[in-house]
Amino acid sequence: MRNQFNILLSLIIFFAFTMHSCQSKTETETEKIATKQGIIVPKIDSLKYSEKYCCVLSPEQGFSVYDNPKGKIIGTLKRMGNIKEDNQVPYKIYLVTGDKKVKIENFREISSEIFAINYTDSAEGFVKVVDSSKSYWLSVAEIEKNGFKTVNWRDQMIEQSKGVLGYYANEPGLRLRKEPNSKSEIIGSVRGDLFEIKLTKNISGQWCKVKVTKYKEHPCNTDLEEAENIESQTEGWLKIIDDNGEPNLWSYTRGC
């Protein structure tokens, strides 16, 4: 009888440990997804608006481009040209390899006329840039040495939440849940730009606790007073980062 009890106890402990390990693994994986992609911005936020870095945010000397994390340098990502001859120079960055230069187009507008180099992966102190299908990497140590930093999308959105007009759910919308997981009770749905989302610093992997305000009319196009215009307010959890590491939210970077 005692042997049977010991076997049963061992099985209970084994399954409890296994479930805990699976849960920890899942939490680790979702945290990795939530932080794998982001942007490169000046360490001092106000320098985003400095002529020195404007308008595609980058130091004058650019960033060295590596063929792999801890690999060899194959070029430089930098601005080229004379602003006296071309007033669009601040908006142009090139991948320069020897005498060859390729104009890069895929940046992210993070404020009115302010663009950031975005990265699509991170590994071993490097971030992947320019083209997710090719192997172009920047050193995080060099980025920081030049007065810049890497910020994942989740942290960037939370940091900017108070300053933007509001965040809105990508189509086809998001489900607001009671807890930060896809099996939790649904307490509402968020879709379109009448549902304004404010983020809190309460996070869990790809999820963030939010405050959602449903307006009768969009705040940019109404004569109603703010209090009169509010239809409802709700708190809950939204999955603000999708399974590819991209934001599930958007904002009006140029205001109303």
In tens, the pLDDT along 217-250 reads 999 899 999 899 999 999 999 999 999 999 999 9
* pLDDT of the residue at 10: 47
- Please report which confidence band the pLDDT of residue 18 belongs to, taking 50, 70 and 90 as the band edges: very low
* pLDDT of the residue at 24: 42
- Please report which confidence band the pLDDT of residue 9 belongs to, taking 50, 70 and 90 as the band edges: very low
Burial (Cβ within 10 Å: 0-12, 13-18, ≥19) of residue 9: exposed
- Please report which confidence band the pLDDT of residue 163 belongs to, taking 50, 70 and 90 as the band edges: confident
In tens, the pLDDT along 165-215 reads 889 999 999 999 999 999 999 999 999 999 999 999 999 999 999 999 999
Distance separating alpha carbons of residues 205 and 90, to the nearest angstrom: 36
Specify the range with the lowest mean pLDDT, choosing from 14-18, 22-26, 244-248. 14-18
- Residue ranges per structural domain of the chain: 38-159, 161-251
